[in-house]
Every structure is written in structure tokens, then in C-alpha cells.
Amino acid sequence: MDIEQKQAEHIDYFVKQTSALKGSALNNVISEATSHPSLFAFSEILSVPNVVELEGTENSIYLDLLRLFAHGTWSDYKSIAGRLPQLVPDQVLKLKQLTVLTLAETSKELPYDQLMQELDVTNVRELEDFLINECMYVGIVRGKLDQLKRCFEVQFAAGRDLRPGQLGNMLQTLTDWLTTSDNLLISIQEKIKWADTMSESDRKHRKEVEERVDEVKKSLSLKKLQTVSRPMLTSEGMRRSTLNLVE
């Protein structure tokens, strides 16, 4: 079973759970969801009305916790840790895995130094073990560990939940890409038309050259024929002509 299918099943389970509970009863479900080893998407849970209703209540810290796992990173957590429930080890691991996915969104070559800083890892061996065992083996990323360049080359990374406002940016990016593609297509079509025009011009030029060559060949053949058919005086003929003149 691939990671997408697993995600869909886990999301459906937690959406049903949160839809059936209210208030403080949601706290344990949210903690369970953010600790689950195979769940990496939380936007559907965030949109459940019962979860949204936590805003402004004494249980709103669990709504903030869920938002952190939907859009945030380990560094984000450290900056607001005092306002959130204390994380258990499974949540710490999950948030660090999500941090790798966030970094992979912006670059396909992640320096070891950057990863160690973002994940609070103290040495390369620990970092590589984390990337292999907790990221690649789990299936959320694929890539190559380059010890010579000291970087992780990302070949695939699972997508995270869209952050507020990110959809608009993505639509703008796609619109810009479409405009660029249209302009490129027009440019290609113009170059093809130019190439066709030049090809036709070359074809006409070659035909004209071939016709001139044929004319020159015919002219040369005619001159050669005239030269061959012209009467030639041999030495004997010249002698007889001289004798006739003397007589």
C-alpha cells in the first residue's frame, strides 16, 4: 500500500473521530493524530467544524498544535513552545520529518549543515541515520546522501498541507508559467514559419542555380560541337594550297 492510500485512510479515520467529539474531548484525538507515525497531512482535520470551534476557548492550544503540524517546522515550535502542549517523542519525530519536507519544497539539494541546524542534530552520522531510517524508509522522501558534497539530494518529497495564502501564490505561479509557455509557443511558431520561408527561398535559389548551370553546360556543349565540325587544314593540304598558288 502506497503512502497516498495510507494517508487517505488515516485522514478519514481522524476526520470521523473529530466530527464526533467536541471541546476538551478533542485534545486526545489531536494529540493522537499528531503522534501517528504514518499521518503527514492535517488540513482536512483542521477544517472539521468541531475543531474550528476550539478557537478562542481554553482548548485552543490544541488547535494551535494542529496548525503547527499542518504548516510549521521544528524551529517554529521552539519559538512558541511555551504556548503549546509539551510534545511527546513521537510528536518531536513527526515534526522533524515534516521539517525535512518543508525544506525540500524550496530546494532539491539540502546541505548537511542546514539540516543539522534545523533538526537540532549534532553530527553527520546521526543526521544520515535520521534521513535513511525516519524519512526515506518511511517513504516521505527519496534521494541520495552525498557525503563528498555534504548534502542530501532530494529526488522526491511528499507534499505538505497548503499554508494560508499559498494556494493563491500557486495559482499565480501557474498563471505566469502558462503565459510564459504561450509566449514560447508563439516564438517557436514564428521560428518555424521563418525556417519554412528560408527553406522555400533556398529551394528557389537552388533551382535558379541549377538552371544556370544547365544553360552553361548547353552553351559549352554547343561551342565544343562547333569547334569539332570546323574544317581543319592538314599539313598536306597546306602544301597543296601553296603549290597551287605558285603555279
pLDDT, tens digit (0-9, with 9 covering 90-100), for 22-48: 999 999 999 999 999 999 999 999 999
Predicted pLDDT at 220: 76
- Whole-structure pTM value: 0.69
Predicted pLDDT at 151: 97
> What stretches in the chain show pLDDT beneath 70?
1-3, 165-173, 223-247
Predicted pLDDT at 116: 98
Whole-angstrom Cα distance, residue 197 to residue 175? 33
Predicted pLDDT at 128: 97
Predicted pLDDT at 66: 97
Q: How far from each other are the two terminal CA atoms of the chain, in whole angstroms? A: 125
Cα→Cα distances 205→127, 197, 209, Å: 68, 12, 6
C-alpha cell of 233?
587544314
